[in-house]
Amino acid sequence: MDFFAAYRDGLLADDYHRVPALLTGLDPAELARAGRLLANLAVDDTQATVVRVAITGHGTLSPLVPSLTAEVARHGLLLRPTVGDFGGYLTELSDPDSELYRAEAEITLCVLDAGIIFDEVPVPWRPADVRAVLDEKLAFLDKLASIFEANSKGTLVLNTLPLPHRLSAQLVDHQSRAELGALWREANARLLRFGEQHPGVLVVDLDPLLAEGIPVEDPRMAVYAKMHLSTELLARYAREIGHLARNTAGRTKKCLVLDLDGTVWGGILGEDGHDGVEVAETHHGEAFRAFQRVVKQIGAQGVLLAVVSKNDLEPVRRALTENPQMTLSENDFVRIIANWQPKHDNLKQLAADLNLGVDAFTFVDDSTLECGLVREELPGVAVLPVTGDPALHVGTLLADGWFDVRELTVEDRARVDKYREDLSRKDFLDNFDSIEQYLAELGVRVRFAPATEKELPRVSQLSLRTNQFNLTTRRLQLPEVRELADDPAWHVLAIRSSDRFGDNGLVGVIFGRRENDALHLENFILSCRVFSRGIEQACLSALLHHAREHGLTEVFGSYRPTAKNGKVADFYRRYGFTTLPGSDDGVTRFRHDLGELTEAPAHVDLDFGGTLQ
C-alpha cells in the first residue's frame, strides 16, 4: 500500500510509525502533497516524538510547511509548527513576548533572501550601496541572535543569502559585477561564522543546494506573491531542516554498515578473487574508488564503519589488506561480518557486539532483495539501496545526512578506536568464569567531577544521542547545557572512565539541582559503551554519600519512560530509593532519605571531584 492509499483508508492517525516507510521514494512534489495531508492528520502526540518548529522570515514561506511536515515525518517525527506573520522576522525575533518565543520551539527558522538587502537599496545603485545595507543588516542580525539566545533554549537557524542573476545583471560592467559578487560572498562568509559567537545559532549554506541546479526563485511568484525563494529551494531546505530535527530528537545514526560486492567494489569476490574486483582504474572502478573515499572520510569523523556481506571472511580480509588499489582497509572497520547467514540476523548480532540498537545503523546494499528483507525485519535501520550506476552511490549515501551533528567533539574523532577497545574487552571477558572476575581484572577507573567548558559540547551530545541509559531523555542543546552549568543551583557532573584497554573519554553526565536541603537528580545519562561495569552505581553512591556529608536530607530522582530506556526503569529503586505517588505528567519520581546508602563496587577506582556547596 502506498502513502496516499493509506491516508484515504484512514490508517495513519493511529499507526503513525508506518509513515516513514510509506514516504520512501516519493519525489519532492509528492512529498509536499503528503505533507499537506499529514498537516491535517489528527495524530496524538504519544504516537511519535514531537518536534516544535517556529517559522519566520522575510518573504512568503507557505510552501515550506508542507515540505517540512513531510521531511520531519520521514524520520518518524511529528511536526508542530508555529508560523509567524509575513515579513515579520524583525519584530518577532526582537520581542521576547512574541508568539515565536512563546512557542518554546526546539528549532526556530528565520528564512532569509536577497530581498532583505535590495528592498533597502536605492535606485539607481552601485556595489557600495549594497555593501552599506549588508553591513547594517548583518549587524542587526547579530543583535537578533543575541536576543534569541537570551530568551530561547532552542536553536535559531539562519541561511546564507542567494544572489539571483536578475540582480547582478543590473550592473552592465563586469568589474562592478565582480565587486558585487565579492562583497556578497564576504557577507555570506560573515553570516556563516555567526555560530562561532552564537552557540545557539546554526547557519544553513544554500550555495551547495543551488549547485544541484535548483532555481533561486520563480520570477512570477517573486513579483506577484512576494515569494523570493522557489518552491524547489524551500523543499530542499526543508530536507536539511529534517536532518537537524532528527539530530535534535536524538536519532542521528552512529554506524554505517556496508555490503561489499557491487557496493564497495565492482564484481563478485568469490568469482573474481581479491585482486580482481574493481576498485580503481576502470570505468566502474573509479566510481567505486570515489565511494570508498567518501566512506573513509565519514569514518574519520567518528562514524563507525562495519561490513555485513555474504562472503567468506578470509577472502574479504585479503581483499582489504592485499589489494593495493583498495582505498578502504580492514583497519577502517570496527567489525567485519562475512558469512552466509541472513543479513538482518547479522545486523542484530552486530548491534549486540557494539552494544547499539539497530536503529543506530544505516545499511547500504546493491541488492533490492536484501534491502527489502532488512527493511521488513528491522524497520529502525535506514536502508539505502544502491542498485544503479556506482557513480551514484555517493549521492545516495549523502542525500539524507544520516550522520550529521551540530559539532564534532574529541570523543567523536576517537570513537572508532574506543569501540575497537570495547570489542577487545568482550574478547577479554571470554577468559573468565564470572563477570566478577572479569571486572576485577578490567581495572575500571572513573573520574566524576563538574563538567569543564571544553566538555560541555560532549555533554550536550550525550543528551541528544543517548537513548538507552537516559532516565528522562531531556534533549539539551549546547546553550541549554551552558546555562545549567553557569547556574549556581545546578550541578552538571561529567563522568569519565578508563580501564586496562584505554581511555573511554566522557561517557556520562548527571544533572542535579540543589533546592534547600534536597538534591533533585533531573537526569542521569550513561553511554551504552560502558554499561554493566558498575560505573553508574559508583557515581550514584559517591553522590549520595557526598550529599549526606554536606548536610542534605534527601535526594530525589526522576524517570520518564520512552521506547528505548526501559532497562533503567528500576534504576533508582535498585539503589535504595522509594517510589513516590504517581503524577499526571508521565514521570515516575523517587526519593532517598540518605539513611542506608549503597556502596560503590569494589572493582571501581573512583575519583569524585564534585561539590554540592
* pLDDT for the residue 29: 87
* pLDDT for the residue 612: 64
- Domain membership of residue 101 (yes or no) is yes
pTM beyond 0.85 = no
Provide the residue range defining the domain that includes 270.
255-398
Nearest to 568 by CA among 507, 523, 513, 606: 523
Asked whether residue 50 falls in the same domain as residue 183, the answer is: yes
- Region 394-422: what's the mean pLDDT? 84
In DSSP terms, 524 is beta-bridged to 510
Residues 446/505, Cβ–Cβ less than 8 Å: no
Position 28 confidence tier, pLDDT thresholds 50, 70, 90? confident
Asked whether residue 419 falls in the same domain as residue 390, the answer is: no
* Percent of the chain at pLDDT exceeding 90: 71
- Domain membership of residue 456 (yes or no) is yes
* pLDDT for the residue 433: 74
- We report the CATH number of the domain holding residue 484 as 3.40.630.30
Alpha-helical (H) ranges within 250-312 are 269-272, 283-299
User: pLDDT tens digits, residue range 313-371?
Assistant: 999 999 999 999 999 999 999 999 999 999 999 999 999 888 888 999 999 999 999 99
* pLDDT for the residue 48: 85
Q: How many residues in total does the chain contain?
A: 613
- Domain membership of residue 405 (yes or no) is no
Position 439 confidence tier, pLDDT thresholds 50, 70, 90? confident
Position 613 confidence tier, pLDDT thresholds 50, 70, 90? low
Helices 64-73 and 231-248 pack at an angle, to 10 degrees, of 40
- We report the CATH number of the domain holding residue 132 as 3.40.50.1110
Per-state percent for the chain, helix, strand, coil, to nearest 5: 45, 20, 35
Asked whether residue 390 falls in the same domain as residue 446, the answer is: no
State the virtual CA torsion across 236, 240, 242, 246 in degrees, nearest 10.
160
pLDDT above 70: residue 532: yes
User: pLDDT tens digits, residue range 580-611?
Assistant: 987 777 899 999 999 999 899 999 999 988 66
Domains: count for the chain: 3
- We report the CATH number of the domain holding residue 261 as 3.40.50.1000
Asked whether residue 372 falls in the same domain as residue 440, the answer is: no
Asked whether residue 424 falls in the same domain as residue 488, the answer is: yes
- Region 470-479: what's the mean pLDDT? 90
Asked whether residue 391 falls in the same domain as residue 419, the answer is: no
> In the listed set 366, 398, 430, which residue is the last one of a domain according to the structure?
398
* pLDDT for the residue 102: 94
Q: What is the mean pLDDT of the chain?
A: 92
> In the listed set 222, 248, 274, which residue is the last one of a domain according to the structure?
248
* pLDDT for the residue 10: 87
Asked whether residue 118 falls in the same domain as residue 147, the answer is: yes
| CB atoms closer than 10 angstroms to residue 8 | 12
Asked whether residue 276 falls in the same domain as residue 242, the answer is: no
- Domain membership of residue 403 (yes or no) is no
Residue type, 236: R
Among the residue ranges 9-18, 161-170, 279-288, the one predicted with the least confidence is: 9-18
> In the listed set 248, 281, 315, which residue is the last one of a domain according to the structure?
248
Position 18 confidence tier, pLDDT thresholds 50, 70, 90? confident
Asked whether residue 176 falls in the same domain as residue 209, the answer is: yes
* pLDDT for the residue 493: 95
Longest CA–CA span in the chain (Å) reads 85
Alpha-carbon distance of 420 to 222, in angstroms, equals 54
Residues 475/248, Cβ–Cβ less than 8 Å: yes
Asked whether residue 603 falls in the same domain as residue 512, the answer is: yes
pLDDT above 90: residue 524: yes
Chain centre to alpha carbon of residue 175? 43
Asked whether residue 100 falls in the same domain as residue 225, the answer is: yes
Which grid cell is 529? Answer: 559503551
